[in-house]
Amino acid sequence: MIKYKNDCCGCANATYPCLGSSCPKRNVPHYYCDECGDEFDGEELCIWDDDSHLCKECLFDKYRSIL
């Protein structure tokens, strides 16, 4: 599953103003395994048949339960 979060780090100051909605840290994707709920990098997750995002361990468990 992909959740978009505001990762604002408060970098705005007197010399560098807040970029508002154009800030790249305002709408950052976070990737979670739909089975175990742990957070991963996007390339670490596999997409299963039902479009769920699974980590390698959960994907292995799915295959093992099918066999």
- Specify the pLDDT at position 1: 92
Count each helix (H run) and each strand (E run) in the chain, helices first.
1, 5
User: Does residue 53 contact residue 47 with C-beta atoms inside 8 Å?
Assistant: yes
- Specify the pLDDT at position 65: 66
pTM (predicted TM-score): 0.76
Task: Please give the chain's pLDDT, 67 residues, in tens.
Answer: 999 999 988 887 777 788 888 888 889 999 999 999 999 998 899 988 788 899 999 988 877 766 5
Give the domains, in start order, of the chain with CATH numbers: 2-66 (2.10.110)
d(CA 39, CA 50): 19
User: Of 25, 20, 57, nearest to 40 (Cα)?
Assistant: 57
pLDDT tens digit sequence for 17-30: 888 888 888 899 99
User: Of 38, 18, 22, nearest to 30 (Cα)?
Assistant: 38
